[in-house]
Amino acid sequence: MLTDADLKAVRDAGLIDDAKLAEIDTFLRARQGPGATAPRFDLTHVLWYAGALIVMGAMGLFTNEAFNRMGGWALAACGVAYAIVFLAAGHMLWRNRSLRIPAGLLIAVAVAMTPLVVYGVQDGLDLWKYALGDPGQYKNFFPYVNGSWIYMEIGTVIAAAIAVWRYPFPFILMLAAVALWFLSMDLALWFTRDPGNYYDFPIRRLVSLYFGLGMIAIAWSVDILRRRGPDFAFWLHIFGVMAFWGGMTFADSSTELMKFVYCLINIGMIGLSLFLNRRIYAVFGAIGVATYLGYLASEVFKEVIMFSFALSAIGLAVIGLGLLINRNRARIMAATDALVPQSLAWLRPEHARAIR
């Protein structure tokens, strides 16, 4: 898959001129389809995303007791007002294709107001008695599991689905993924109705692990089925890997065999990153392998002085492998195409295949 840097390198090598570069760039952008916003991050993008996350946090994680004293209807009205303002601003900016990222982020902030609005309505109508009891203040929605949050999570998923249908901006799906992750936790509490058991960390860890696997499967399916337009699978892959890897990493592996299996799974994630052309798997896989090697250094071989030097050499080798893969990515993708049997070729997304 050619990037802007690849095209500029071809131009700088004298193989094409500026006019041809512009023509190719226009063709590739048109091929992506309307509304395409390829994920890339420079300082401007970091500031845009950071600003959106700060607003979401201000209305969520950092909602204080004084804010909650406004009462349910006041909270709902505040959430609706925020949503209308951000949605209107996002809709206005969306018309300008060069401002699709800040526009999409503003719309995502509007979607993020959904749980606040639902919470306010539930509180105002005293509907907690139909759930699993009063879950407390709205700020508890983020750190605490509670079966009464389910309506807020369902509402957020519905709002995100409507928003991404009208404004095809992939980051909005990240909000839906987070809400679904919360939903998976809270549904377990809803059906068990036994908070004493559910708050055991191993059960919550397993829920996260299996949810992450499911999210990865969904993202993989989106990659295969959707070949044009915005990269909707991007954020789904990221959140799926985070949920799965976190649940796996914090497992209580009591035997050396299980710890070694953990290392093998992380190595497999690095291989999967080449198969799917998704770097996020390589990032977490490399961290997992480093975690296992660090465990060996601190526990198993802590008395062996030379192991520290060997571990340093392994670390340098991993860095070198990363540089090698980055420099020869196109050749590696072509080799992978040749090695993958035809019966499994359909599992590779189109963007992961070599340019022919």
At 135, give phi and psi (nearest 5°): -85, 0
Q: Does 74 lie in the same domain as 15?
A: no
Which of 166, 194, 222 marks a domain boundary?
A: 194
Residue 223 pLDDT > 90: no
Are residues 190 and 55 both part of a single domain? Answer: yes
Domain assignment present for residue 262? The answer is no
One domain, residues 144 and 56: yes
pLDDT (mean) for 247-272: 83
Summarize pLDDT for 207-217 with one digit per residue, the tens: 788 888 888 99
Establish if 45 belongs to a structural domain. Answer: yes
Vertex 53: Cα angle to 47 and 57 (nearest 5): 140
User: Is there a single domain that holds both residue 132 and residue 24?
Assistant: no
Output the pLDDT for position 101.
84
Tell me how far apart the alpha carbons of residues 306 and 312 are, in angstroms, rounded to a whole number: 10
Q: Ranked by mean pLDDT, which of 67-71, 170-174, 252-256 comes out on top?
A: 170-174
Q: Is residue 96 part of a domain?
A: yes
SS3 annotation, 186-220: HHHHHHHCCHHHHCCHHHHHHHHHHHHHHHHHHHH
Mean pLDDT over residues 132-139, rounded?
66
How far is Cα 176 from Cα 182, in angstroms, rounded to an integer?
10
- The amino acid at residue 56 is M
- Shared-domain flag, residues 46 and 189: yes
Q: Which tokens sit at 194? A: 């036994």
Question: pLDDT, tens digit, for every residue of 92-125?
Answer: 989 887 788 888 989 998 998 998 888 888 888 8
Average pLDDT of the residues in 180-188: 78
Specify the pLDDT at position 353.
60
**Can you tell me which residue has the tokens 């500026």?**
18
What value does the mean pLDDT take over residues 219-225? 85
Per the structure, the complete domain to which residue 14 belongs is given by: 1-32
User: Does some domain include residue 59?
Assistant: yes
Q: Cα–Cα distance between 104 and 258 in angstroms, integer? A: 43
DSSP state of 62: T
b/e for 200-229, b at 16 or more Cβ within 10 A? Answer: eeeebbebbbebbeebbebbbebbbeeeee
d(CA 63, CA 136): 12
- The pLDDT assigned to 88 comes to 93
Question: Of the candidates 323, 250, 320, which has an alpha carbon nearest to the alpha carbon of residue 288?
Answer: 250
Q: CA 118 from chain center: how many Å?
A: 24
Please count the residues of the chain: 356
Q: For residues 101 and 49, state if they share a domain.
A: yes
Mark which of 194, 226, 261 sits at the end of a domain. Answer: 194
- Residue written as tokens 């909707």? 232
The reply to whether 14 and 49 lie within a common domain is: no
Same domain, 61 and 24: no
Is 213 a domain residue?
A: no
pLDDT of residue 125: 84
State residue 349's pLDDT score.
Answer: 73
Q: Which residues contact 125 (CB under 8 A, 6 or more apart)?
A: 72
316-331 pLDDT, tens digit per residue, is 676 676 667 667 766 7
Is 0.75 surpassed by the pTM of this model? no
65 lies in the same domain as 164: yes
Assigned domain for 346 exists = no
Residues 177 and 61 in one domain: yes
Task: Let me know whether 189 and 59 are in one domain.
Answer: yes
Q: Does the residue 211 lie in any domain?
A: no
Number of domains in the chain: 2
Same domain, 46 and 190: yes
Identify the domain boundary among 150, 179, 194. Answer: 194
Question: Residue 1: inside a domain, yes or no?
Answer: yes
